[in-house]
Amino acid sequence: MQVRNFIDGAFVASRSGKAIPVVNPATQDVLASVPLSSGEDVRQAAEKGRAAFPDWRDMPVVDRVQPLFRLKVLLEENFEDISRTMTLECGKTLVESRGELRRGIENVEVACGMPSLIQGWNNENIAAGIDEHMIRQPLGVVAAITPFNFPGMIPLWFLPYALATGNCFILKPSEKVPLTSQKLFTCLAEAGFPTGVVQLVNGGAEAVNALLEHPDIRAISFVGSTPVAKHVYGQAAAHGKRAQCQGGAKNPVVVLPDADLAETAAALAESAFGCAGQRCLALSTAITVGEVRGPLTEALVEAARTRAVGNGLNPDVEMGPVITEESKSRIVGLIAEAERGSGRILVDGRSSRVDGLESGNWVFPTMVDGVTPGDALAQEEVFGPVLSLMHADTVDEAIALVNGRAFGNMACLFTSSGAAARQFRNQVDAGNIGINIGVAAPMAFFPFSGWNESFFGDLHAQSRHGVEFYTQTKVVVERWP
């Protein structure tokens, strides 16, 4: 299969002539060939978007959301096919893929309420006979650069809001997982958006840099690692664009002695090992306080050792592979570095294999105890199924450990104490807080917050933040003699 771009209302071949294989990380089967689109492909998409923009922005908002209603129906009708495609190309379980797509569809549903979300402000008689209004208008052509780990959900963090507010939208998905976008754009083509309003450009660094540099592209949305997020944010700003750039994460969870042990252990295991740890809200460090250390460690070790790993299409499997051999090597290297330092390996998933799929990118659940704040495993994003354990004597000490890292995507607390929960949510430096929740993923009608090195920008994805990011305000002061 040859992956294609979607430009000016049709699937078309890239002009670059360059392509790389799309590989199933569990089986190593080649699924397709994806083009590494050139700057010329990006230029064509931007020009078509610019041409489509005037009519699209002038369409009444109640009419602009009608294709989104149809898109919602088409995504539901193709739900299983799209979910299976996500599992094939990124390796997660089918249950995880279904959950991902459901969260993406929720964003389409929220954006369908744009007639209310885009409303401005009005004041009558700010002075004698003078009224003042603030209205929201779209930016123009905008683009999103999305990662491999959620190929269905993350494009839908951006696309519905950009379109419903009247912008024309270009998606550049990860070249590792382009097949989900092919399915998504098949639905978009059928949903009835005007030609040029929504477009797809596949590719790598050349396509990214072309999007950042093109003068007609007014805003960039990005999700990926922190080093790349910094590059995208800096280049977008240098070229006069708005940017919202979600970076990496190092998510801690604090467990107090009064937490429910069974529920906590189950939630932590799912958070750390779900999606093979390849999500920006994955638990990376469990910090136990006081006497809960022994019982929780024992429960987590059992959960890690017994988690079923294999091909995500197998209904009995609970965790799939990591995305590439390079990712596996990096993860294994971080575990080895911890072992050479202060870390003690409690569960070692480095050499485990799946029968019949020995060539897959397997890293089984791994646990490392005795990690110290200065260790690489405590500071660097692993993006794999590796859970570090740290220990504290008090809540204050645990909060200090939580805040002693560069990232600020998520932090969670497990407790039955309302006072401890209030202190935690008030003092912790993170944008997404969970109380007795292992993955504090905001619903589509809340922004996906991130702080510090986990986010660069002012307005996050989803909900009203998305509306504000994709619109510019215009203030009108008027008097009628």
For 34-73, how does the pLDDT look when each residue is reduced to its tens digit (9 = 90+)? 999 999 999 999 999 999 999 999 999 999 999 999 999 9
Catalytic residue among 90, 187, 245, 280: 280
Query: What is the C-alpha end-to-end distance of the chain, expressed in Å?
Result: 67
118 alpha-carbon distance from chain centroid? 24
Instruction: Extract the tokens encoding 75.
Output: 């995504």
Distance CA 74, CA 68 (A): 10
169 alpha-carbon distance from chain centroid? 18
Task: Tell me how many degrees the CA angle 369-375-379 measures, rounded to the nearest 5.
Answer: 105
Average pLDDT value for residue range 388-398: 96
Instruction: Extract the tokens encoding 104.
Output: 């993406």
> Catalytic residue at 112?
no
pLDDT in tens, 373-389: 888 888 889 999 999 99
**Mean pLDDT estimate for the chain:** 96
Average pLDDT value for residue range 303-327: 97
The DSSP 8-state label assigned to residue 442 in this structure reads P
Instruction: Extract the tokens encoding 256.
Output: 């107090």
- Which residue's entry shows tokens 């003690």? 344
Handedness of CA 264, 266, 271, 272 (dihedral sign): positive
Is 8 in contact with 196 (CB distance < 8 Å)? yes
pLDDT in tens, 201-255: 999 999 999 999 999 999 999 999 999 999 999 999 999 999 999 999 999 999 9
Distance CA 310, CA 407 (A): 31
Kindly report the length of the chain: 481
What is the SS3 string spanning 285-339? Answer: EEEEEHHHHHHHHHHHHHHHHHCCECCCCCCCCCECCCCCHHHHHHHHHHHHHHH
DSSP-derived secondary structure for 256-282? -TTS-HHHHHHHHHHHHHGGGG-STT-
96 alpha-carbon distance from chain centroid? 14
CA distances from 8 to 39, 50, 142 (A): 16, 11, 15
pLDDT in tens, 252-271: 999 999 999 999 999 999 99
The DSSP 8-state label assigned to residue 461 in this structure reads B
pLDDT computed for residue 375 by the predictor: 87
- Kindly state the percentage of the chain with pLDDT values over 70: 100
Using left for φ > 0, alpha for ψ between -120 and 50, and beta otherwise, residue 478 falls in beta
